[in-house]
Amino acid sequence: MNNIDLTTKFCGLTLKNPIIIPAGIHGRSGKVIKEISSSGVSAICTKTIVPQSAPDVLPCFVEVPNKTGMLNSVFGSDKFSEYWFTEGIKEAKEGDALVFANLAGYYPEQAADLAQKAEAAGADLIITPTHCPHMGEILNAMFPDMNFQEAGLADTAGMTATVKAIKAAVKIPVVVKLSGSHNHITPEWAKAVKEAGADGIGVSDAFGPALAIDTKTGQPMLGGPRGIGGLTGPAIMPLVLRMVLETAMSIDLPILGVGGVTSANDALQYIMAGATLVGVVTAGHVDGPVRYTKIIDDLKILLERNNVSSLEDVRGLTIKRIQERKENDQVAVTQPIVPLIDIDICTGCAKCIPVCAFDAMWMENEKANINSELCIGCGLCKSVCPFNAIIHEYYK
């Protein structure tokens, strides 16, 4: 293994690498956190610690088409908050990873009370989510008397009051985790998080509400009144990546990017968009903790292959590239570049032939060819080539 140092500073903490596990099943108890910490991740979040635990409506997991993600309808931690403060966080801290307490109250003072207890129990950082796409509907179905009211998606007042209350109660860093539901108003939320006084920002939680249907029965595949849940995994990554970029371009808080990461290449994309830490949840649920270890190991290999000696050299690189597009008059390139075929790599699989809607591709001697008169330089052939045999570069 090479010597690339992945040590990362985030909100005043020093982490051994940028890969962490945000809230999910691997944060369900102190024992699990302690065990999973041997995967090499630098921090693990608890499942959201809430004032009152509730059982999940079942089934609470389903895979989405082509295994591009997962829907879940889970709530916060199914353990009492007192468990976390008396045993859970203490046991989690016996592992090799920092422990981030993910928590939420129904009102700011309640969140502050939980945060204070989490800090006293040894948590290294507080992270608080802003909105859960499925929670309100399911809570109201389970507890009709509760009449739980969701804040409007553009309403940042609750988050601001919560951050201020938590900041007044604890000394450890406080991070706000945006919801995928804020994806159209990310800069507005990012600025509000900064103004509220948070030390960092997480982007993002699940997207939704989302639905999957069993076509044998017509039933929604998840439990609950309408069977809705939050979408996570690779399907959301391009959206979250753009949210991270917008956040990095709007505010100067350190960013935890989380959404759909399955590989070191995914993690590096988040870092290039401006993230300091990268979270992995669904991939670890689907493949097991070995996925976390692989991403960390592969990240070192990938950086070495790209001649990058420090993460600092590539953090936010995409923001710089976007600036260069402006400076180089490349914000709306319309002049086509015709791709080149690397005939040493082309296997003659012919996958690129039928996708070309401009009849620009043909096979000769079992290799793909491009007619430069017909090619409009769209990039679709390159996108479908399974062997990366098509070279097509508009920007260096």
The interface with ligand FMN within residues 338-377 (CB under 6 A) comprises none
Nearest to 174 by CA among 42, 11, 24, 20: 11
Q: Is 373 exposed, middle or buried (0-12, 13-18, 19+ CB in 10 A)?
A: exposed
User: Which two structure tokens, joined as six digits, stand for 28?
Assistant: 């369900």
Of 20, 32, 57, 74, the one binding ligand FMN (CB under 6 A) is 74
User: Which two structure tokens, joined as six digits, stand for 5?
Assistant: 């140092």
Considering the complex, state which of residue 233 and residue 339 has its C-beta at the smaller distance from ligand FMN: 233
Residue 123: how many CB atoms within 10 A of its CB?
Answer: 28
Q: How far is the CB of 279 from ligand FMN (least distance, A)?
A: 6
Determine if 26 is a binding residue for ligand FMN (CB under 6 A). Answer: no
Among the listed ranges 139-147, 255-263, 351-359, 378-386, the one in contact with ligand FMN (CB under 6 A) is 255-263
Q: Please name the residues in contact with 21: beta carbons below 8 A apart, sequence gap of 6 or more.
A: 27, 36, 41, 43, 44, 45, 97, 279, 280, 281, 284, 292
Considering the complex, state which of residue 134 and residue 194 has its C-beta at the smaller distance from ligand FMN: 134
Q: How far is the CB of 106 from ligand FMN (least distance, A)?
A: 15
Measured at the CA of 368, the angle between CA 362 and CA 369, to 5 degrees, comes to: 60
Number of chain residues interacting with ligand FMN (CB under 6 A): 27
Nearest to 233 by CA among 57, 17, 22, 64: 64
Among the listed ranges 134-142, 145-153, 267-275, 279-287, the one in contact with ligand FMN (CB under 6 A) is 279-287
Rg (CA), the chain: 23
User: Which two structure tokens, joined as six digits, stand for 19?
Assistant: 């890969």
What letter does residue 224 receive in the DSSP assignment? S
Among the listed ranges 16-24, 34-42, 185-193, 381-389, the one in contact with ligand FMN (CB under 6 A) is 16-24
Cis upstream peptide for 204 (omega within 30°) = yes
Considering the complex, state which of residue 61 and residue 368 has its C-beta at the smaller distance from ligand FMN: 61
Determine if 281 is a binding residue for ligand FMN (CB under 6 A). Answer: yes
- Across 294-349, the runs of DSSP E, i.e. the strands, are 340-341
The interface with ligand FMN within residues 32-61 (CB under 6 A) comprises 47-48
x-marked contacts with ligand FMN along 179-208 as a string, rule CB under 6 A: --------------------------xx--
Of 156, 162, 186, 232, the one binding ligand FMN (CB under 6 A) is 232
Considering the complex, state which of residue 233 and residue 316 has its C-beta at the smaller distance from ligand FMN: 233
Q: How far is the CB of 45 from ligand FMN (least distance, A)?
A: 7
Determine if 23 is a binding residue for ligand FMN (CB under 6 A). Answer: yes
- What is the rounded distance in angstroms from the CA atom of residue 51 to the CA atom of residue 204? 23
Give first-to-last CA distance, the chain, whole Å: 29
Q: How far is the CB of 207 from ligand FMN (least distance, A)?
A: 8
Determine if 76 is a binding residue for ligand FMN (CB under 6 A). Answer: yes
Q: How far is the CB of 374 from ligand FMN (least distance, A)?
A: 40
Question: What secondary structure, in 3-state letters, does 131-158 show?
Answer: CCCCHHHHHHHHCHHHCCCCCCCCCCHH
Q: How far is the CB of 201 from ligand FMN (least distance, A)?
A: 13
Among the listed ranges 21-29, 152-160, 295-303, 368-376, the one in contact with ligand FMN (CB under 6 A) is 21-29
Q: How far is the CB of 286 from ligand FMN (least distance, A)?
A: 9
- What is the rounded distance in angstroms from the CA atom of residue 169 to the CA atom of residue 79? 23
Cis upstream peptide for 209 (omega within 30°) = yes
Q: How far is the CB of 200 from ligand FMN (least distance, A)?
A: 14
- What is the rounded distance in angstroms from the CA atom of residue 271 to the CA atom of residue 278? 7
What letter does residue 43 receive in the DSSP assignment? E
Considering the complex, state which of residue 34 and residue 285 has its C-beta at the smaller distance from ligand FMN: 285
User: Rule CB under 6 A: which residues touch ligand FMN?
Assistant: 22-25, 47-48, 70, 72, 74, 76, 102, 129, 177, 205-206, 232-233, 236, 258-261, 280-283, 285
